[in-house]
Structure 1
Amino acid sequence: MSAIGARLAELGLSIPPLAKPVAAYVPAVISGHHVFTAGQLPFVDGALPATGKVGAQVSAEDAAGYAARCLLNALAAVESVIGSLDRITRIVKVTGFVASTPDFTGQPAVLNGASELLGEIFGEIGVHARSAVGVAVLPLDAPVEVELIVEFA
């Protein structure tokens, strides 16, 4: 078992199957020594566990959990193009989008679901730059979407 696979198992997690794109794009591309993922929704077995806006139909706490699921889906996309997550040398940036009500301002706390999980999985190389953006709506009415930029060797 790989080192990252072992760490995921310690956390009671695993990398899910690669989510199928919902439009005309690929889940991840390599440029030089970086992988750029497409935005990943919190699919579980091909379905969204919730829809709607954070601050209305979805709680901030649940949305943070969905952000963590988006992260696992993004790691599946990375793994699909580099073969092993053990090749990651740095998580460079996380960009997260939170479909939220106009008065909701907790987007950073929602994205902590993804950021904190990266730290748990990767330790120091999981420390990253991040943007947390509130938006009116996301594809399929998902509450959250996450994309990654990672460096690999």
Structure 2
Amino acid sequence: MSTPEERLAELGLSVPEVVPPVAAYQPTARTGTLVYTAGQLPMRDGALVAAGKLGGGVSEEQGYEAARQCALNALAAIKAEIGELSLVRRVVKVVVFVASEPDFTAQPKVANGASELLGEVFGEAGKHARSAVGVSVLPLDAAVEVELIVEV
């Protein structure tokens, strides 16, 4: 069976460098067998891949891709904490924050960007509980932010 990193490569992706914190926190916190990530923004090569609000200037498709990038960044933080992604026993919980205009209600569709990536990378172990929450604004005007909890 292939490793999570090999499955990412099959998707044309790789684990990026850990995005440096933008405030006073660390990228992960580990307690027992659980690793919690800080909220990950859709940063790629030092820039946001989507800024603004869903239902405003950001399309559902852009939000989906932003959530996918956030999840990839969360995997980078987890890998830095534990050494290799094959040590992840399962993804327990995903929380997706979506900067939204008041009438935008497709937060779950945006959150699928993160959830589907985790399923592709971890298979059955990628199935998780999830919350998809609409918020008025996120740090740096990011369109999406994702947190993960994984068991190792």
**Per-residue Cα deviation, 1:8-48 (whole angstroms, up to 9, x for no partner):** 11111101100000000000011000000000000001111
1:49-128 aligned within 5 A: 49-128=49-128
> Identity of counterpart residues, as a percentage?
64
1:1-80 → structure 2 map (5 Å cutoff):
3-80=3-80
SS at 1:130's partner residue? strand
CA RMSD of aligned residues (A): 0.8
SS in 1 for 2:89: strand
> Number of aligned pairs?
151
Residue 75 of structure 1 and its aligned partner are, at CA, apart by 0.4
Distance 2:50 2:6 in 1: 29
The normalised TM-score by structure 1 is 0.97
The AA in structure 1 aligned to 2:47 is A
Q: CA deviation at 1:50?
A: 2.5
Query: Would you say the 8 A contact 2:50–2:62 is kept in 1?
Result: no
Unaligned runs of 5+ in 1: none
Structure 2: tracts of 5 or more residues without a match: none
TM-score, normalised by the number of residues in structure 2: 0.98
